[in-house]
Amino acid sequence: MNPENPHYILGRIRFLIECIDCFRNSKPLPEALCYVPREVLYKFWKDSTISSTSLGRSQYFVTVWQLASQSQRKKLFDIELKRGTCIKATGEEYCNSHGLWVKLDQEQIQEYNSSCQSKEGWILLCKQPEGGERLVPVETPERLQKQQQLFGYDYRPCTRWEQVVDAQYSLHLGAKPKVAARDDAAVHKLRSVPPTWTFECDEDLVHYFYDRIGKEDENLGSVKHLVDSIDASSFSDEANVWCLTDGDNDTFWESEGSQGHHWIRLHMKKGIIIKKLFVSVDATDDNYMPKKIQVYGGERDNLKKLNDIAVDETLVGDLCVLEDMMVHLPLIEVRIPECVDGGIDVRLHGLKIRSSRERDLGLNIDMFQSANLVRYPRLEGHDPDMLYRRAVVIHRFLKLLDSLIHHLVPAWDHTVGSFGHLKHIKPFLLLSKRRTALIAQCLKDSETNKPNNMPKLYINRRVAMEHRNNPSLDPSCKNAVFSQMFEGLKPSDKCDKPLDYRWPARYDQWWECKFISEGIIDQGGGFRDSLSDISEELCPSSGDSLVPLPFFVRTSNQGNRTGEARDVYVPNPSCKEFGKYEWIGQLMGAALRGRELLVLALPGIVWKQLAGEEVKWSKDFPAVDSVLVKLLEAMETMDKETFEYKFGNELTYTTVLSDQSVVDLKPDGSNTVVQYENRMELIQLVQKARLEENKDQIQSMRVGLLKVVPQAVLDLLPWQELEKKVCGDPEITVEALKRLTRFDDLEQSDTRVKYLWEALTNFTNEDRSRFLRFVTGRSRLPAPIFVYPDKSGSEKTDALPESSTCSGALFLPNYSSAKQCEEKLRYAAYNCVAIDTDMVPWEE
């Protein structure tokens, strides 16, 4: 069956819609998605690269166990398997930390051991992650010959769930393909839904699985757990070999030497089977850019060519150079025989690997034990076996979705279907494997050229700080950094075009800032500082600060100090400056496309609407006003006597919005008393009014966002990822800082390095955010840091540390103790705001 056949595509879309309906309404999933064959034949397969000790064996023994669980396993008997023969089992699989198991039913057990009365048995297909001997499914020649004689030469029954979907949901000329007999008991286990299961449980399961496993795919830059060592044709300090695995595409490894003699060798860990190998390239490297890449693999003295790739000379990003290896290769060698325009030296910006070990170990029942589910109370009470099987069908669904997603997303002129059905299951997209590449392609296709002349802005932060301290003195807010920049970026001439913010991702400075009365040559630090200033004005990080701009207001939770998300803001329902909301949306889009951040503390209900997702009162609004949500819940179940006692004749058809304004919910609502019998009408009106109180403001932000980011990208991004791409990661761990920090003229054993990590460990997350802004101009990750000794060298000093935000550099003094280092760093992070180390004022 050809999956790109239009009949199969349309059939899969029909099936996808049916699955979505089942997930949303917690109904049993379609049988085709849960299909398990009743009989599968397995034979031994040996990876000759692992070991050669058993290659000459003519027979094997396979143990049948009563249970696959490691703690309760009981041996039933052994099956003697001679070379060339097969084991018959069902298609029901079960994975735990010991390996992948397959089930034998009672009839199959009787066939191998007539004295055994067990109703089921389990055999281990393969141990993980050892590789080596394993059982693999196979069709015997005798079986295929018999089927061909009975049903025709091309006959082969459907034995995989994907084939069953295509057979049952696609239109066929003539008879439909036959489906092999299914294992009804196994299908029932996959289809069944507990009475208490809801769609929110499925969402939690996806998020739990993503938190545990999905992030490995995000952090593919780290290959240390997959390779023993890396050799390269240039291995000096200047060559920066560590840049291949630091996960930062801004850095690069550069190989010098004779033209065409550049290579990287990966010495793989035992048992690792490469599923995808990526190299990161950048077209802006000009003649350092590889034009041709060759990949070899095998034993050191017997390397064989595996792939030969002509590189797209306009590519910026990851290029897959090897995929779907079936066996372990001890050595992988990446050769660059030719560069663009005859270049002699070469640059690569990173290596990334996906291995079969990551994929195979991604889903097993042991990860669903109660101790691992503390953060997911909806999942805690469910049987681990049920959670495992639910995760299996979710993964099947995602595999189907990945096969269709490029047809559904409106990224090209010719598409089928609509992404509207999928917005209901957007959280599932976190586990999609094709989504990232689609997003990158959509962003690349919509890029424009960078401006011919970088805008230059003159910002007076002194008057902006005065305004921030007392906003009432300047009701027009013209002195705020936000307003100065908004006016400064307007086209000065009718012929000038406004900025479109669709620049390439590597265009990392959108404008140049000159801060009046502050010494600075802006090479990126001033620009980033201006974004931080805008963020702080729109959504102040301190709950005690005044809000200097009218665009966002504090939530009721923040004012009442109740409920969740007490530090967030929502768009001001009374503010009608929609042009400026649109500009905020454009800045958000620019942050998404590039590497800069616009940190806006907004609740999930706002991000959901920006991403085009549905919002629900009981699920989303508690982050805004938890007291109101609880009040309406209590009112709904309240008896008449309690209602009259609490409200009497004082409750009217009005509600208070987030900006504290009071609005009527119906004509003359403020003069109409709510009766007990009409309380449900009031509840519905209040919910509608509050959910839609700032829809115009959010819509304006979304309009600006869509001017910069294609619709398809927002369709593919769950709201949590949209927030992270715009605002960065709010959690700043010491481990994350260590991955992003490089030391120059300082050894890891130096006391200054030790004191620095000890100080940052003792910092709170807010302290580390302030420290990050002090050094880099950014308050969230990612942000590379370069640490140098200060001018005092090795002499003890009590001077404050200095920084250069343009280069992300920290000049660290040699303090006498870790405590002194902590105190000085914290003081600098909170009090050294102006940029003075880039240039002294009298040099301007």
Q: Which residues are catalytic?
A: 806
Token digits of residue 672? 């109409």
Token digits of residue 629? 């949500």
Q: Report which DSSP code applies to 286.
A: G
Distance between CA atoms of residues 14 and 4, nearest Å: 15
Distance between CA atoms of residues 167 and 139, nearest Å: 20
Which has the closest alpha carbon to 276: 335, 323, 226? 323
- Which helix (H) or strand (E) segment is 44 a member of? strand 40-45
Q: Give the residue ranges of DSSP H helices in 45-105.
A: none
Distance between CA atoms of residues 80 and 568, nearest Å: 66
Tell me the longest C-alpha to C-alpha distance in the chain: 97
Token digits of residue 395? 């993964």
Q: What are the backbone angles phi and psi of residue 317, rounded to the nearest 5°?
A: 140, -155
Q: For residue 302, with 0-12 CB atoms within 10 Å meaning exposed, 13-18 middle and 19 or more buried, which class applies?
A: exposed
How far from 570 is each of 518, 550, 612, 667, CA to CA, in Å?
Answer: 33, 11, 17, 27
Query: In this structure, are residues 567 and 543 in contact, taking their beta carbons and an 8 Å threshold?
Result: yes
Distance between CA atoms of residues 128 and 99, nearest Å: 5
Token digits of residue 550? 């009218």
Q: Three-state DSSP class for 788?
A: strand
Query: In this structure, are residues 715 and 409 in contact, taking their beta carbons and an 8 Å threshold?
Result: yes
Q: Three-state DSSP class for 125?
A: strand
Query: In this structure, are residues 36 and 186 in contact, taking their beta carbons and an 8 Å threshold?
Result: yes
Torsion of CA 759, 765, 768, 769, to 10 degrees: -170
Distance between CA atoms of residues 72 and 749, nearest Å: 48
Distance between CA atoms of residues 92 and 366, nearest Å: 18
Q: What are the backbone angles phi and psi of residue 365, rounded to the nearest 5°?
A: -65, -25
Distance between CA atoms of residues 360 and 428, nearest Å: 20
Rg of the chain on CA atoms, in Å: 31
Q: Three-state DSSP class for 150?
A: helix
Q: Report which DSSP code applies to 242.
A: G
Query: In this structure, are residues 472 and 438 in contact, taking their beta carbons and an 8 Å threshold?
Result: no
In order, the DSSP letters of 399-457 are: HHHHHHHHHHSTTSSS--S-GGGGGGGGGGGGG-SSHHHHHHHHHHHT--PPPSS--EE
